[in-house]
Amino acid sequence: MLPLSLQLIHLCAALMLLLAFVFLIERRLLQLTLVYQMQGVLLCFVSVLTAFTQQQPELYGSAIITLVIKVILIPIGLRRLMHRLALRWDRETMVNVPTTLLLALALVLLAFDLTHSFRPLTSGDAGQGLSIALACVLLALLMMIARTQALSQVIGFLAMENALMFAATVSVHGMPMIVELGMALDVLVGLAILGVFMSQMRTQFESLDIQHLERMKDRT
């Protein structure tokens, strides 16, 4: 029987994958922000659990950073941006939901197949977690491709960063603190820049559909 800590990590990995599917089917932007917060909570829990089982106190600091940045600051920034731009729904998609889910299932199978050869080289909790983390990365990329609204693509990018953080935590027991602080700062600065960009885009086109940018590019 697997240790309790390993079972909890596998449970968190399964929940991360489930939330990645929720990202693909959810159209309400406020709910997408809530799903992103739930992923942040899972990352905090995995960091604390890994810190306790592996006796690595620095991961407690990682959990605190994740809590502050991913569970509090970024969701607040996203909600303020939605309120400023009067956004509620993302109705425009490149692919319908059934087709998107079929593509998502294919990507999950691809991720497990690609990481199968690496499992003998990893520890017991890393192999399964690495497969699911790669699947979450691919699903986030699919979300960014399938959605045409800029804010949804931003959330997809943030979800992909969550998957990379999860992979680092379960495979190599976290990244150095300076790297995590740098990534957190980059994400916050990028979110601020995207907020200004989307505000200008909304003023210019009265929409956040990126197809307007493609039309403007064709004209030039």
Indicate the pTM of the whole model. 0.79
Other Cβ atoms closer than 10 A to 102: 11
Closest CA to 141 of 121, 161, 125: 161
Average pLDDT over residues 27-50: 90
Does residue 153 or residue 43 have the better pLDDT?
43
Average pLDDT over residues 13-32: 90
- pLDDT tens profile 72-126: 988 888 888 788 877 777 766 677 888 889 999 999 999 888 887 665 555 545 5
pLDDT recorded at residue 39: 93
pLDDT recorded at residue 163: 87
Does residue 95 or residue 71 have the better pLDDT?
71
Distance set, CA 144 to CA 71, 100, 139, 158 (Å) = 21, 12, 9, 10
Contact 174, 49 (CB under 8 A): no
**134 Cβ partners below 8 Å, 6+ apart?**
111, 114, 115, 163, 167
Q: What is the 3-state secondary structure (H, E, C) of 191-211?
A: HHHHHHHHHHHHHHHCCCECH
Residue 93 is classified by DSSP as: B
